[in-house]
Every structure is written in C-alpha cells, then in structure tokens.
A and B are shown apart, each in its own frame.
Chain A
C-alpha cells in the first residue's frame, strides 16, 4: 500500500531534549515536506526537499532541522524543543505537482 509513515504518533517531551520525528514513503517520490498544524493557523510548511541532499526552508523553519540522505526518508529534528513547538506535525510526499500524500501526523507536546 502506498503510504507515508510517521513515527511516533504521539510524543511528550521536556524542553531542551533533542528529538527526531521520522517520515518514510514507499512511493519513490522525489518531493517531501514537513508541515505543522496549529488551531486557527492552518498548515504551515517547515521544510521541504526536492530530492536527495536538496532541502529548503518553508515558512516556519526556526528551531527545526531536516536531512534527506535517502529518497524514502525525511526526518524532522528538533535539537532543543521549546513549548511553542507543541503542535501537530504532518509529513507529505509527492511525485510532482499533481497530488500529495500525507502521513497520519505526530502530535508533539513539549513541557
């Protein structure tokens, strides 16, 4: 089944403790992206990647890092999480501009 898999689904962590949210797609898509969803703000793009070793900032990149060493994986790294990064995170992938597949989401709480 074609899908985007994110892990974990839920995560509670403390301020400053580094964490990684994994994202993997099995569709051989070149394009991958991370969004955060906050009430009243919709989905805002954090980072995206057009291909392996090619990443770029989205609208809200501060406090996040990404890497794209393989086509299928696009992890989101929070080096020093803060409470304002408490949010619902979605990974997405696409083969082009004709459609995006979203992961199931990761609900992160930073206390």
Chain B
C-alpha cells in the first residue's frame, strides 16, 4: 500500500545535539513533499516544502531537508536543536504533484532536554 513512513516514534536529544528525522514514501513519479511541526497544544505549521529544483530545502527555524529521489526519502535535519524545538514532526506527501490528498506519516515526537 502507498504510504509515508517515519522511522522514529520518539526521539530524545540534549540541547545543541544534531537532529535527523527520517521520512520515506512509497509513491512513484512526481511528489510534493512537506514537513509540518506541531508544538504542544497547537495546530500544524509548515516547516518546509519541496516541489522541484534543488533537493536541499531550507525551512524556518534553521531546519532543512534533503530530497533523495533514488531512496524515496525526505529527511529533516537541524544542526543544533533547542529546547523550544520540542514538538511533534510530521512528514507529508502529495502524490502525483496534483491537488489532492495530503498523506501524512505517523509523526515523530521530539523531546529536547535543556
């Protein structure tokens, strides 16, 4: 079945540690890719997105993601996390590049220890 997989359910880091959250999707062809963040008690906010062009995408708050087509991956990275990055992170895909279903992964909860 077509899906979006996030490998880690819960990641715990200390402040200043580097972060990489994995995301793989199983759709062939064109895809639009997104990372959303949900801070405790809040709604989803867009961190970054990829449609085409440079596979290294920079988003808000120092986050970046790299699209690797051959690996069907779109991993999220941040060189140095802060306590305020504690949140849940969702990878999402629109298959086919057309308006339609935004398919989410199950999310990764990030806890950053001060």
Contact = CB atoms under 8 A, between A and B. Distances in A.
- A, B in one complex: yes
B43 A97 contact: no
Given A43-B104, A98-B32, A105 B43 contact: yes
A101 B9 CA distance: 25
Contacts of B44: 43, 90, 102
A104 B43 contact: yes
A54 to B, nearest CB: 12
Interface size, A (range): 20 to 34
A67 to B, nearest CB: 19
B40 interface: no
B107 A45 contact: no
Interface of A: 30-31, 33, 35, 40-45, 48, 50, 58, 90, 92, 94, 96-100, 102-105
Interface of B: 6, 9, 32, 34, 36, 42-46, 49, 51, 90, 94, 97-107
